[in-house]
Amino acid sequence: MIKAYLVEDELFAREYLKDSLLESKKVEIAGEADDIEKAIWEIQQLQPEVVFLDIHLAKGNGIELAKQLHSLKKPPFVVFVTAFDEYALTAFELDAVDYILKPFDEKRIEHTLEKIIKWKQLKTNDDRPQPVKEIKPDKSVNKLAVVKDERIIFLDIHNIIYIGTENRQVFVKTVNDKYVIDTLLYEIEQKLDSYSFLRVHRGYIINLEYVNEIEQWFNGTYNLIFSDGSKAPVSRSYIKTVRQCLGF
């Protein structure tokens, strides 16, 4: 069972969310609140695994509460449930598990619960003590883990053409396929730091090995065209770096 806490100041919305969660048979409601002050105190006492959180509250802002929860010693997972879509980027920067727009249905809630179960399993594995191994520098693993069809797939980093964002999701484009992942773009950039990847746009990291052509775009920007015909934009703030790396 998933131990959950609800933060929602609209009674009808909170009751509907509660009923949807209980209907799944996967959730135990540990508590609920309609304001930040009560919520932060009870969450620290009850230690729920996940907090379902509205953003616009009569007394406070859900984003601010999420920031406080993020700093706890044992932070719960956070799922935003809101009628406003403009905070999605901020939500994922706070490592939110999901961002549900109202009005939602039971299928949407079920999808979120499945995601929480996966994250719980990954967290459990991370928390288990692991045997200490000596990793030799020449034995580095050139893989990036992605999830597809409920399976974890390890992609060869050298086969990745670029990583981008689309519909507020991060995806990996390879030579043969495309994968949506839950990792933030800046975290992937850190993993690829020692490879031939370059940030060319706020939402794109590209593999220089696959760049075949460069086309001029509007306002002095460019598009990079890769060997498979796909494209990625170069924003003006990254043009100097791209010119230096590609020598044009």
Better-predicted residue by pLDDT, 211 or 153? 211
Q: How far apart are CA 120 and CA 111, in angstroms?
A: 14
Whether the per-residue pLDDT at 128 is higher than 60: the answer is no
CATH fold of 143-246: OB fold (Dihydrolipoamide Acetyltransferase, E2P) (2.40.50)
User: By C-alpha distance, which of 12, 43, 11 is closest to 29?
Assistant: 43
Better-predicted residue by pLDDT, 40 or 59? 40
pLDDT of residue 123: 64
pLDDT of residue 220: 67
For a pLDDT cut of 70, what percent of the chain falls above it? 90
Q: How far apart are CA 123 and CA 125, in angstroms?
A: 5
Across 39-56, average pLDDT: 93
Better-predicted residue by pLDDT, 89 or 96? 96
Tens digits of per-residue pLDDT, 165-187?
A: 887 788 899 988 888 887 778 78
In whole angstroms, how far apart are CA 31 and each of 84, 128, 195?
24, 28, 47
pLDDT of residue 137: 44
CATH fold of 2-125: Rossmann fold (3.40.50)
Better-predicted residue by pLDDT, 61 or 123? 61
Q: Tell me whether residue 224 is exposed, middle or buried, using C-beta atoms within 10 angstroms of its C-beta: 0 to 12, 13 to 18, 19 or more.
A: buried
- Token couple for 60: 């406070």
* Pick from 136-145, 202-211, 222-231, 239-248: least confident: 136-145
Q: What is the pTM of this model?
A: 0.53
* Pick from 4-18, 28-42, 219-233: least confident: 219-233
Across 103-117, average pLDDT: 88
DSSP string for residues in the chain: -EEEEEE-S-HHHHHHHHHHHHHTTSEEEEEEESSHHHHHHHHHHH--SEEEE-SEETTEEHHHHHHHHHTSSSPPEEEEEES--TTHHHHHHTT-SEEEESS--HHHHHHHHHHHHHHHHHHHHHHS--------GGG---EEEEEETTEEEEEEGGGEEEEEEETTEEEEEESS-EEEE-S-HHHHHHHTTTTTEEEEETTEEEEGGGEEEEEE-GGG-EEEEETTS-EEEE-GGGHHHHHHHHT-
Tens digits of per-residue pLDDT, 74-85?
A: 889 999 999 888
Whether the per-residue pLDDT at 133 is higher than 70: the answer is no
* Pick from 49-58, 136-145, 155-164, 192-201: least confident: 136-145
Across 200-207, average pLDDT: 90
pLDDT of residue 43: 94
Domain map of the chain by residue range? Answer: 2-125, 143-246
Mean pLDDT score of the chain: 84
